[in-house]
Structure 1
Amino acid sequence: MQFALQTGLTLRAGQRTLELTRELPDREYQFEDVITRRALVLSVAELIHRIYSKEYQVVLGGAPKGQFANRTVVSVLDLSALKEYERAEMERRLDYVSRLRRQGITKGQRKKIEEAIAKLANSRGEAVPSATTVMLWMRNYEISGNNALALVNKHRMRKRARRLTDSVEDVIWRMLKQHYLTPQKNSLRFTHDQLESELKRLVKSGQLEQDTAQVSFPTLARRVQDIDLYTRVAAREGVARARIVCRTAFPEGVAAYPYQRVEIDHTPLNWVVICDRTGLPLGRPVLTVMIDAYSGYILGFYLSFYGPGLTSVCGVVRNALRPKDPFLQGLNLENDWLSMGLGDEWVIDNGLEFHSFGFKTMAMALGVDLMYCRVRTPWLKPHVERFFSTLNTLTLMRGRITKTVANVARIDPYKDASITFSDLVRGLLMFVVDVHPHQPNWRKMATPYELFAEGIQRSPPATFPGSLEQLTLASGMAKQLTLRQGGIEFYGLPYGSYAFKDIVKKYGLKQKLLCKLDPDDISIMKVLDPDGRSWHDAVCRWPVYAKGLSFNQHQLIRKFAKADLNSPERHEALLASRQRLHEHWMEATNHRGRADALLAGRYADMSSHKVLSGQSSSLQLPLSESKQLIVPSEYRISEKEIPEFESLAF
C-alpha cells in the first residue's frame, strides 16, 4: 500500500494506533494515539525506517483522493526479466508518455496528443501511433502509480489458444495416464506411438475426423510439460522421490540462536569394538547424538549396544543437560565442552522410540517442543546427518566395516578389531570436543565452536531441571503399571514401598500408576501417587540382583534364561523325571497284603529320626552286618491263610 506523509496517515504500532496530525519544522511529524491522544514526534528518517522495518504497519495510507486513489497495480515482473525487444518497446512507450507529461498534456486532450505524437514520431523516424493507443498508455501509467511495468506488452502474459478439439485432448490425456504416468516408466516416444494407434482406431470407427486426429510429438511433449513436475515424478517414480526432487527450503527452518532447534538421531558406527574385560569382539555400537542446528555444535552423545531405543534417547538427553567438566577430567583435551542445559525444540524422525509414551512424557516434563520430520526427508535435520558423514573420515582403520567389492580381498572386521569400547568412547569424546567443533563452516565463514560461544553470550542463560531427582523423573523411562497385593511387577521384578499401604487403603488395589525408572539403574522405581502431587520410591525386592542393573541387561538376562529353560535338554530331563515319578506312584500303590507292607516298613527301619537326621537306611546293609537288637525268632510272623470269598452280582 502506498502512503503519503500527510494528515490521515494511520499506523499500527503493536496494540496502539497512531494518526498523523501535523507537520512540524525540521522535517518532523507529530502523531497522536487515537484513544489517549498522547502526542509522539518522529523525524522523517526514523518514521520511514520504522515503517520499512515493519515496526509500524500502515493502516490508512493518506494518499491523495481522486479517481484512482484506491486502485493499485501489483507488479509481477521485473525489468531485468524482460527480453531485449520487450524492454525496447517499453522504453519507446515510456518516451511518448514522459514527453507528453513534460509538455503539460493530460490523457484527455486528444487534439494536443495527436499533434505532439506526430512530431515525436517524426523525430524518432517511425510510424505515428494512434492517439487512442497513447492515451491508453498514459492511463495505465497513472493507474499503476508511475510504474513502467504497466507499459509492457500484454502479449507476454497471454495464454496460447489450443487448436486441438476437446475429444482429441481427452484422448491425449488418457494415453498419458495409461502409458506415460505409470511406474513402468515408458518413454514419451512409446506413448506417442500408442496415441497415434488410438487416433487411427477412432478415425476408423467414425468417432473422430481425419483432419482433427493429428497430434505431433512436440505437441505431446508440451502437454507433458503442462503437468506439474511433482505429479509427473510421483506417478512414475513414487511420492518419496517426488518430495526429494521438488523439495524446497523454508525460512522458519533456520535457527537464529543456540538451543532453538536441537536435532536427535541414531546411527550404527562402522567399527567393531572388543570388550575391555574379555577381549572378545562385541560388534558395532550405536551412536545417539544431539546437535545444535544454529552452530552445528555437539550437545551430547550416547554410545551403547542397546540399539536405537528409548534407553539411548534418555542417555543422550542426560548427557546433554549436565555440565561436561566432570567428563573431561584426566583426558588432557585442548578445549572445553561448552554445552549444557535444555533446548527449545527437538527435531526428530518417526522412530518408534520417539513416538513412545515415555519419550513424550519426558519432553513434556522438560518443557521441550517436538517437531517430527516426514518419512524419508533427511534434509529437515541436515546437521546431524552431515555429522554422521564426517565420522567416516576418522583414521581408525582396524575393525572397520566396509562394503563388499567384487574381486577385492575383504578383511573380516571381527578378526581385525583391536580397539576396546572404553578407548572408542574416549576417541569419540576427543573428536567431539577438539576436532569437529573447530572445522570451518565455509557457508557461515566460522567454526561451530565460535558460533556456539558467540551465540550463548547473547542468549538467555541455560535452564536446568530443578534437581537430579527431577532430571531422573524427566529423562527416565515411563510406564503405566498396576498395583497389586504383591506390589508392582516390572518385567518379572517385584517392587515394594511403604507408601503402597496408604494408596491401597485410600484407593484400593489394581490402580494404574505412572512409574518411572532410570534405564541405567532399575533398582529403584519412582511411582506417582494417584493424587498426582507426590512421588514415592519403590525399591526392588531383589536388591542383590537389581543393584546397578540396567534395563537392557535385565531384558537380556531374562532372554537367555528363557532360552535355557526352553532348551531341548531341559525338556527331555523334565519328561524323564515326570516318567520316573509316575512309575514311583504306580509301584507305591501296587496291591499287596498288609503283612507284606508292615514287614517292608520294619525291614527298611523307617523312623522320623532317620528322615530328619538324614541318616542312611538300614535297608542298604545286610542283616548279618547290622546290629542285632532282637533275635530272629522275635520278629518272625506266623503266616495265616487268607480265606477266599465268592463275589455276588445283582
Structure 2
Amino acid sequence: MSAQRFSTGKQFVWQGVVYEIKRLLPASLVSIENLQTGEVKAVSFVELAQALFASELRFLVRGQQNLSAEMRSPADLSDYPPHLRALAEHRLAVIRPILALNPSRRTREAIVARVAEVRNSRPDGEASPHAAVSVASVYRWIRDYTRSGNDLRTLVGNVQRQGGRQTPRLEEPVEAIVRAVIQDRYYVREQVTTDDIYLETMLRVEEENRFRSEVEKLKAPSRVTIWRRIDALDEAGKLVAKRGQREAKEQSTQYGQMGYPSGLLERVEIDHTRIDLIVVDGADNLPIGRPTFTYCPDTATRYPLGIYLGFDPPSYLTVMECLHHAILPKGDMRAKYGVQHEWLACGIPNALIVDNGKEFIGADLQDACHSLGIELDQMPVKTPYFKATVERMFETTNTGVLHTLPGTTFSNPGQRGDYRSEEEACITLDDLMKILHVFLLDVYAENFHRGLGDVPARRWEARVQDGFFLRLPTSAEELKILLGRVTYRVIAHFGIQCFGLRYNTPDLASLRLRLKGEKVKVKYDPADLGHVFVFDPQEQVYLQVDSLDPEYTQGLSLWKHRVIRNPARKEQDKVDLLGLARAKRQIQEIVKASKAAGKSRGRLRAARWEAGGRSVQDDPRDVSPLLALPSKPTPPAQMPGLLVDLKELEQAGWSAGYDLPVKEP
C-alpha cells in the first residue's frame, strides 16, 4: 500500500469536491484550493487526517488507474495477475538506482546511462516486454512513482488500454454485418453457438460481396473475432434474451442476509410439498403413493409450529388442517408417538407468509386470517427465497430423514438411478407420522441451527421465559369454525342448500325473517359436510346447522360428495338422496377394487377416500366432540353392476381439489 503526505501540490477529494494543497501554514494549518471554484481556505491538519480515516477524504494518485466509483477501494498489488506484478517489480528495479540519487543528480545523462545498462544486461535474443526500456519511460516511471508516495501499483500502468483493446479493427461494413447477425440470431431463447453466428456472418459477407468488385470485396472475420464479440456482450442483456426478465433479475441481483424477527409468532411461513417417499397400506403392505406434507414453522426460532400429512392434494383443506394443528396445544406427544420431547409451540401467529397458490390467495384463507387477527402476507410470484425457512426445511426433511428410508423417490431421477422405490417401500402412513415427529421434535428442534446460532427448542423456551404470552382462540370449536371455508347462501323456508345438500335448524327462521332475502355467510369444513355454520350478523355468532340427511353426510368430505354426485347427475331430473346413497355404496366397492388391484394411482385415490380429508395426526380422543372424527360407516353389501369409475371421474375434473366450482341442481 502507498504512503501519502499532505504536502504542497497534493490533490484529494473531500466531501465530493477536488482540492489541491497550496501552502503549509504555521500551527499545523493547511491552505487548500477548491479546483472548481478557485476558493482558498485554511483547514487544520487534524481535521484532514480525521476525514481521511473516516473514509470521507481520499487522495488522487497521479499515474494510478482512475476509479469510477467514489466508494470503490483501489486494488491491492496482490489483486493484479502475476505477470503484471512482475512487470511493476521490473520497472522499480530499473529506476531504483536513479531514485537513490539526490534529486539534483537525476540528470538526463544519468537516466540515459541507466537505460543503456539495462539494455546491455539483457540476454541475447530475449524479447520480453520487461526489457522494453526507453529514456522517456524511465522519466514517466520516476514521476508516477514519486508522486504516488512510492506506490508500486503506479508502475503497473493502465494495461486495460494497451495494445489497441476495445478498438474495432474490422471494416465498418463487416462490423455492421457482425452486429446485425448477433442482434438477429444470438438474442433468442433457443440455444445458439458461436459457430452458428460465425457461419451466418460468413454467409452475409458472401452475399454482400456479390454486388462488389474484386477490389471492394469484404474480408470475412475469423471465428475468434466472432467469439470475442459475443464474449464482450453485456451479461445482463444476454440473460434477459436467453432466460427472460425474471430469471435475469434473480441471477444478476445480489441478495443480502434476510432479517428475521425476534419475537415468537411474529412471522410464520406455510407451504406444501409431496414428500420423497412412497408409503404402503398397513393392511396389505401394497404401495399407495406419496403423501402431501404441509409445514408451518416459526421463523424467529425455526421451531416447527404445525404440520399436515395426508393424501389430499395441496388445497385449502390441507392449509386449514395445518393451521388448526399449529394453533392448538399438541397434547402428550410422548405417549402418542414415543418421542423424547413434548411439542412446545402453539398459538395464533401475527403474520402468515404465503406464496401464490390458489389455496393461499382465495377468500377462505383471507376470511380466516381476518377473523383470527392474522396479517396475511402474500409474496411476489416465483420468489421462494422470501419463504426461505419453510423451503429450506423441506430440503432438510428430505435429506435428513426421507431419503434414508426404504421406498424413497429421492429428489430427481438422476439421484434415484435404478432404485425401485415401489418395490422397496414398506413404511405406512402411521409409521411415517411417528418418524416425522421423532425427527422434528427430537432431532431438528434439539440440534444446533447454524443460521439461528442456537437450538430452536432452547430459543423458543427462552422467549417464553422472557414473558411472552401466546394468543389462543376462545375454544377449539371456535377455531374450527373460523378456519372453515366460506361461502354465501340465501336462507329459504327449507333451510340452506350447499353442494346439493340441505341443512336446517329452527334457529334459522328468525334469521331468515331479519335478512329478508339477503345472502348469509356460511362456514364449512371440507372434510366433514355433516354440518355447516351460519353467521348471525346481529348477534355476531355462528349457528351450527346440521344436515337433513346425517346418515349420508356422516364422515363425508366435499371431494367424496363430488365423486358420488357425478353418476347421479346422469339422471338429474330424478336425483334424490336415495340415489346419492346408492352411488356412495358403489364408490365404496370401487375403493375396495382399486386397493385389490395393486396399482399405485388407484390405491392413492382409495387412500384419499378412506382418509376423508383428515390428517393422520387427527385423533378423536384429543379433540372436543365437535371436532371428533365421525365413526367409519359399516361397509355396504355388494352391489351388482357398478356404474362408477374413479379414474373416469378424475378425468372429468371431479377430484382435482376442493376449489372447483359446483353447479347447483
Identify the TM-score tier after normalising by the shorter chain. Answer: 0.5 to 0.7
Corresponding residue for 1:386?
395
Q: Following the alignment from structure 2 to structure 1, what is the Cα–Cα distance between the partners of residues 454 and 183?
A: 51
Q: Following the alignment from structure 2 to structure 1, what is the Cα–Cα distance between the partners of residues 511 and 107?
A: 99
Corresponding residue for 1:361?
367
Q: 1:470 to 1:222 in 2, by over 3 A?
A: farther
Corresponding residue for 2:438?
430
Aligned-pair distance for 1:248? 5.7
Q: 1:253 to 1:496 in 2, by over 3 A?
A: farther
SS at match of 1:539: strand
Aligned-pair distance for 1:305? 2.0
The question of 1:201 aligning with 2:199 is answered no
Corresponding residue for 2:13?
none
Corresponding residue for 2:567?
563
Q: Following the alignment from structure 1 to structure 2, what is the Cα–Cα distance between the partners of residues 526 and 147?
A: 81
Q: Following the alignment from structure 1 to structure 2, what is the Cα–Cα distance between the partners of residues 160 and 455?
A: 61
1:174 to 177, 180, 184: 180
Corresponding residue for 2:470?
463
Q: Following the alignment from structure 1 to structure 2, what is the Cα–Cα distance between the partners of residues 81 and 283?
A: 56
1:395 to 405, 427, 448: 405
Corresponding residue for 2:591?
none
Corresponding residue for 2:305?
299
Q: Following the alignment from structure 2 to structure 1, what is the Cα–Cα distance between the partners of residues 478 and 161?
A: 64
Cα RMSD after superposing both structures: 5.8
Q: Deviations over 1:410-429 (max 9, x none)?
A: 6865xx87655434433332
Give 1:106-145 correspondences, 5 Å limit: none
Corresponding residue for 1:479?
487
2:74 to 73, 77, 83: 77
**RCO higher in 1 or 2 (8 Å CA, sep ≥ 6)?**
2
SS at match of 1:370: strand
2:358 to 328, 352, 355: 352
The one-letter amino acid of 1:467's match is T
2:260 to 247, 252, 255: 255
Contact 1:473–1:526, Cα closer than 8 Å, also in 2 = yes
The one-letter amino acid of 1:351's match is G
Q: Is the deviation greater in 534-543 or in 368-377? A: 368-377
The question of 1:509 aligning with 2:517 is answered yes
Corresponding residue for 1:310?
316
The question of 1:215 aligning with 2:225 is answered no
Contact 2:522–2:534, Cα closer than 8 Å, also in 1 = yes
The higher radius of gyration belongs to 1
Q: Following the alignment from structure 2 to structure 1, what is the Cα–Cα distance between the partners of residues 559 and 458?
A: 42
Aligned-pair distance for 1:160? 2.1
Q: Following the alignment from structure 1 to structure 2, what is the Cα–Cα distance between the partners of residues 153 and 405?
A: 51
Aligned-pair distance for 1:509? 0.5
Aligned-pair distance for 1:191? 2.0
Q: Following the alignment from structure 1 to structure 2, what is the Cα–Cα distance between the partners of residues 406 and 395?
A: 13
Q: Following the alignment from structure 1 to structure 2, what is the Cα–Cα distance between the partners of residues 410 and 132?
A: 74
Contact 2:495–2:502, Cα closer than 8 Å, also in 1 = yes
Give 1:466-615 correspondences, 5 Å limit: 466-468=473-475, 471-496=479-504, 500-501=508-509, 503-511=511-519, 513-529=520-536, 534-542=540-548, 544-545=550-551, 549=555, 553-563=557-567, 566=570
Contact 1:113–1:131, Cα closer than 8 Å, also in 2 = no
Q: Following the alignment from structure 2 to structure 1, what is the Cα–Cα distance between the partners of residues 447 and 548?
A: 50
Corresponding residue for 2:277?
270
Q: Following the alignment from structure 1 to structure 2, what is the Cα–Cα distance between the partners of residues 504 and 211?
A: 92
Q: Following the alignment from structure 2 to structure 1, what is the Cα–Cα distance between the partners of residues 170 and 339?
A: 75
Q: Following the alignment from structure 2 to structure 1, what is the Cα–Cα distance between the partners of residues 426 and 188?
A: 52
1:333 to 333, 339, 353: 339
Q: 1:337 to 1:237 in 2, by over 3 A?
A: same
Contact 2:351–2:377, Cα closer than 8 Å, also in 1 = yes
Contact 1:310–1:353, Cα closer than 8 Å, also in 2 = yes
Q: Following the alignment from structure 2 to structure 1, what is the Cα–Cα distance between the partners of residues 255 and 398?
A: 24
The one-letter amino acid of 1:75's match is R
Q: Following the alignment from structure 1 to structure 2, what is the Cα–Cα distance between the partners of residues 221 and 506?
A: 79
Q: Following the alignment from structure 2 to structure 1, what is the Cα–Cα distance between the partners of residues 413 and 487?
A: 40
Aligned-pair distance for 1:302? 0.8
TM-score, normalising length: structure 2: 0.57
Aligned-pair distance for 1:539? 0.9
Aligned-pair distance for 1:149? 8.1
Q: 1:543 to 1:566 in 2, by over 3 A?
A: closer
1:375 to 360, 376, 382: 382
Give 1:33-182 correspondences, 5 Å limit: 73-79=70-76, 80-83=78-81, 153-154=157-158, 156=160, 160-182=166-188
Contact 1:522–1:548, Cα closer than 8 Å, also in 2 = yes
Q: 1:231 to 1:452 in 2, by over 3 A?
A: farther
Q: Deviations over 1:486-537 (max 9, x none)?
A: 44322123344666555544442133x3332344444443444557x82331
Contact 2:236–2:252, Cα closer than 8 Å, also in 1 = no
Q: Deviations over 1:419-457 (max 9, x none)?
A: 55434433332232224445666x559785467447746
- Percent sequence identity over matched residues? 17
Aligned-pair distance for 1:355? 2.1
Aligned-pair distance for 1:219? 1.9
The question of 1:188 aligning with 2:194 is answered yes
TM-score, normalising length: structure 1: 0.58
The one-letter amino acid of 1:271's match is I
The one-letter amino acid of 1:81's match is D
The one-letter amino acid of 1:425's match is M
Contact 2:271–2:354, Cα closer than 8 Å, also in 1 = yes
Q: 1:77 to 1:265 in 2, by over 3 A?
A: farther
Corresponding residue for 1:583?
none
Q: 1:322 to 1:548 in 2, by over 3 A?
A: farther
Q: Following the alignment from structure 2 to structure 1, what is the Cα–Cα distance between the partners of residues 288 and 185?
A: 53
Aligned-pair distance for 1:224? 1.3
Please list every run of 5 or more consecutive structure 1 residues that lacks an aligned counterpart in the other structure. Answer: 1-47, 53-57, 65-70, 96-111, 575-650
Q: Following the alignment from structure 1 to structure 2, what is the Cα–Cα distance between the partners of residues 138 and 401?
A: 62
Q: Is the deviation greater in 203-212 or in 340-349? A: 203-212
Contact 2:407–2:422, Cα closer than 8 Å, also in 1 = no
Aligned residues: 494
Aligned-pair distance for 1:267? 1.2
Contact 1:271–1:401, Cα closer than 8 Å, also in 2 = no
Q: 1:454 to 1:241 in 2, by over 3 A?
A: same
Q: 1:403 to 1:166 in 2, by over 3 A?
A: closer
The one-letter amino acid of 1:273's match is V
SS at match of 1:202: helix
Q: Following the alignment from structure 1 to structure 2, what is the Cα–Cα distance between the partners of residues 362 and 540?
A: 21
